[in-house]
Amino acid sequence: MLAVGLGVGDALGLSLAVALGVPLGVGVGVGTQPLSAARARAVTARGTTARRRGMPLLSPALAEGGLQHPGSVGSLLVNPAELTATLLDTVRATVRQTAGERAGEITVDDVTIERPRNRDHGDWASNVALKLGKRLGLDPREFAASIASALDAVDGIAHAEVAGPGFLNITLDAAAAGLLAQKIVEAGDRYGLGTLYDAVPINLEFVSANPTGPLHIGGTRWAAVGDSLARIFEAQGGAVTREYYFNDHGAQIDRFARSLVAAYRGEPAPEDGYGGQYILDIAARVIEVYPGDLDALPPAELQEVFRSVGIDLMFGDIKASLHDFGVDFDVYFHENDLHESGAVEHAVARLRELGHIYEADGATWLRTTEFGDDKDRVVIKSDGEAAYISGDLAYYLNKRERGFERNIILLGADHHGYVQRLMAMTAAFGDVPYVNLEILIGQQVNLVRDGEPVRMSKRAGTIVTMEDLVDVVGVDAARYALVRSSMDSSLDIDLDLLQKRTNDNPVFYVQYGHARTQAVARNADAAGVPRGRFDASLLTHETESALLGVLADYPRVVLQAAEFREPHRVARYLEELAGTYHRWYDACRVIPQGDDPVETVHETRRWLNDATGQVLRNGLGLLGVSAPERM
């Protein structure tokens, strides 16, 4: 049987609901549709894009097919998982009375619920009678009426009614819906956690910029997206290792070293070299830290000094910038180590044992066409030098031998052509493409100021850097702006907008929502409105129902953000939650007016206020953005 183990108390089973195919709402402003388990598995199986393949939709426990009622508070239905389980039992019982043994054919995939667009139609809607009626030879509307009659007797359901040809509209008892507020506060930062990837070792490689210049704006996007994905995977139980692949081998490093030497000699940068103020700065720092006489060194030794010391200084700057951006890595893996440690030879030997290596034209080849590549790939060139793909082979095998079942790499749009050869490589090692290795491709970022694109950095010359963004808008606004849009779409960041303290600025809007929950809590403390008495049945205002509905959706959003590698779902959800909270704030009072006494409804609303603050705080934490208490 399934052990829920959601880390939020026995009353919450939202992640279970989604994993088993319960569509919880219509996307809360994220642009998603209700997702059944069958549809989600189909999306995963199709594998039309790398980002929709990889980790299993279901955790191992769920994949075994066991279903156990999530715990509840008393006999009240607190969340959609419990409602789905109750609806499944009710449908089976109804079918058992009319179609006998066919009740056993009904599974959780047949039972879907979703938020109706018109809340006058109830809290939840289901088409289960329409879906099953024809299959079972039952009149859908009569079938729906029988289900509704049985649901009316369930504690926690106010009433169920039939609409149209056989739709079910279900309204929860206010106490059942309202209990969620108390449960969120009690769960604290554990609310929204799941076990979908429980203990799955995940290697997440991102940024991995060459140490030949400051981190450009594209790499900055990957820093924000990659770190947010890591946090989201961890929220689903994943054992995540953040890894930076340090390219310190190859022609670009030689060009960097020659550019530094040119700066040292007061010469123009080489035609194929690097320019910008940072090259002059790094060259000056090499001169400062080198203990010997640079002028006395032969040209080859001079270039090697500037190469080794310059790379160390440049990479130190990159690491410091990332740290200030809130991004730190567990592993910094040096490409040069692959070539010096024998890892390339080890990988080639493994592939030779598997029968996928051959010799031709004096070179060593990998037979990738057998695995869907458009041509075979040279691994060792005829002059004995390792080809570019050799490092990929060695690095992938290294990760697998370190125990990582899931390896996810974030790359820029210019790497799109590499995906198929990397998938072929994965298959050649006997692994499963898009499962053991997954490539996420991101698009470019443009900064806009005064309606015009920012094309040049003062420090870096021809590229726009992380500092160009952070210096203007700050870390929070930068991270939020970079993560709130789908990574596979180009992104224009309006620097003027992100500096505004208005509702038009999305990060301000969300952070202000959190700050307002904290201000309400402080004012409530001062007015003698504690988080004490709680009567969920008093949360009857339409804005309260709407707010509870959005709060209930948070675990689903986190789960799907992990499944589809889309952290922007969390950002868009937070914007919806903030807006719903602001509307509730305008309509419902936590603090009594004037000399009116503090009543239970005020204390109950205090719970709802604090629950909203908790979810805003949890969500912002997944994005690496602060949740200020005052603004």
CA–CA separation, 44 vs 46, rounded Å? 6
CA–CA separation, 392 vs 413, rounded Å? 18
Helix or strand holding residue 125 (H, E): strand 124-126
Strands 124-126 and 167-172: antiparallel
More confident: 3 or 492: 492
Largest CA-CA distance found in the chain, in angstroms, rounded: 97
More confident: 441 or 52: 441
Nearest to residue 130, comparing CAs of 118, 121, 119, 139? 139
Per-residue model confidence (pLDDT) at position 7: 29
Q: What is the CA radius of gyration of the chain?
A: 29
Residue with tokens 């949740």: 627
618: number of Cβ within 10 Å = 23
Helix or strand holding residue 592 (H, E): none
Three-class SS state of 354: coil
Per-residue model confidence (pLDDT) at position 447: 92
Residue with tokens 């609806």: 87
Where would I find the beta strands (DSSP E) of 432-490?
437-442, 445-449, 452-453
User: With 90 as the cut, is the pLDDT of residue 16 above it?
Assistant: no
Least confident of 411-415, 475-479, 484-488: 411-415
User: With 80 as the cut, is the pLDDT of residue 11 above it?
Assistant: no
- Convert the pLDDT of each residue in 108-138 to its tens digit: 888 888 878 787 788 889 999 999 988 888 9
CA–CA separation, 498 vs 575, rounded Å? 15
User: With 70 as the cut, is the pLDDT of residue 337 above it?
Assistant: yes
- Convert the pLDDT of each residue in 249-274 to its tens digit: 778 899 999 999 999 999 999 999 99
Per-residue model confidence (pLDDT) at position 2: 27
Nearest to residue 392, comparing CAs of 330, 315, 335? 335
Three-class SS state of 66: coil
DSSP 540: -
- Convert the pLDDT of each residue in 513-545 to its tens digit: 999 999 999 999 999 999 999 999 999 999 999
pLDDT-based confidence at residue 461 (cuts at 50, 70, 90): low
Helix axes 600-622, 542-563, angle to 10 degrees: 20
Per-residue model confidence (pLDDT) at position 458: 54
Per-residue model confidence (pLDDT) at position 175: 76
Instruction: Determine contact, residues 436/396, Cβ cutoff 8 Å.
Output: no
Per-residue model confidence (pLDDT) at position 247: 83
Per-residue model confidence (pLDDT) at position 68: 29
The mean pLDDT of 508-513, rounded to a whole number, is: 98
Does 14-176 carry CATH code 3.30.1360.70?
yes
pTM: 0.82
Helix or strand holding residue 583 (H, E): helix 568-587
pLDDT-based confidence at residue 457 (cuts at 50, 70, 90): low
More confident: 12 or 282: 282
Per-residue model confidence (pLDDT) at position 76: 46
- Convert the pLDDT of each residue in 38-78 to its tens digit: 333 333 332 333 333 333 322 232 222 222 232 233 334 55
Strand-pairing partners, residue 161, are 169
- Convert the pLDDT of each residue in 74-112 to its tens digit: 334 556 677 888 899 999 988 888 766 776 688 888 888
Percent of the chain with pLDDT over 90: 69
Handedness of CA 154, 157, 163, 166 (dihedral sign): negative
pLDDT-based confidence at residue 486 (cuts at 50, 70, 90): very high
**CB burial class (10 A; 0-12, 13-18, 19+) of residue 59?**
buried
Nearest to residue 177, comparing CAs of 574, 552, 626? 552
- Convert the pLDDT of each residue in 223-242 to its tens digit: 999 999 999 999 999 999 99
pLDDT-based confidence at residue 416 (cuts at 50, 70, 90): confident
Strands 201-205 and 406-412: parallel
pLDDT-based confidence at residue 34 (cuts at 50, 70, 90): very low
CA–CA separation, 601 vs 589, rounded Å? 9
Per-residue model confidence (pLDDT) at position 27: 29
Does 178-194+502-622 carry CATH code 3.30.428.10?
no
Per-residue model confidence (pLDDT) at position 236: 97
The mean pLDDT of 479-507, rounded to a whole number, is: 95
User: With 60 as the cut, is the pLDDT of residue 8 above it?
Assistant: no
Residue with tokens 């979703």: 114
45: number of Cβ within 10 Å = 10
113: number of Cβ within 10 Å = 23
Residue with tokens 């567990």: 330
Structure tokens that stand for 250 in this block: 């190859």
Per-domain residue ranges of the chain: 14-176, 178-194+502-622, 251-306
Per-residue model confidence (pLDDT) at position 511: 98
Per-residue model confidence (pLDDT) at position 516: 98
Per-residue model confidence (pLDDT) at position 119: 73
Instruction: Determine contact, residues 603/182, Cβ cutoff 8 Å.
Output: no
DSSP 382: T
Per-residue model confidence (pLDDT) at position 33: 32
- Convert the pLDDT of each residue in 146-204 to its tens digit: 999 999 999 889 899 999 999 999 988 877 788 999 999 999 999 999 999 999 999 99
Measuring CA to CA, how many Å separate 7 from each of 213, 230, 249?
Answer: 43, 18, 45
Percent of the chain with pLDDT over 70: 85
Please, which residues have CB within 8 angstroms of residue 270's CB and are 6 or more apart in sequence? 255, 258, 259, 262
- Convert the pLDDT of each residue in 349-402 to its tens digit: 999 999 999 999 999 999 999 999 999 999 999 999 999 899 999 999 999 999
Instruction: Determine contact, residues 95/103, Cβ cutoff 8 Å.
Output: yes
Backbone φ and ψ for 568, nearest 5 degrees, come out as -65, -20
Sheet holding 357-360, edge to edge: 357-360, 363-366, 377-380
Nearest to residue 203, comparing CAs of 245, 142, 141, 249? 245
Per-residue model confidence (pLDDT) at position 66: 27
Please, what is the average pLDDT of the chain?
85
Residue with tokens 């929502």: 513
Per-residue model confidence (pLDDT) at position 183: 94
Residue with tokens 């569509």: 23
The mean pLDDT of 421-432, rounded to a whole number, is: 98
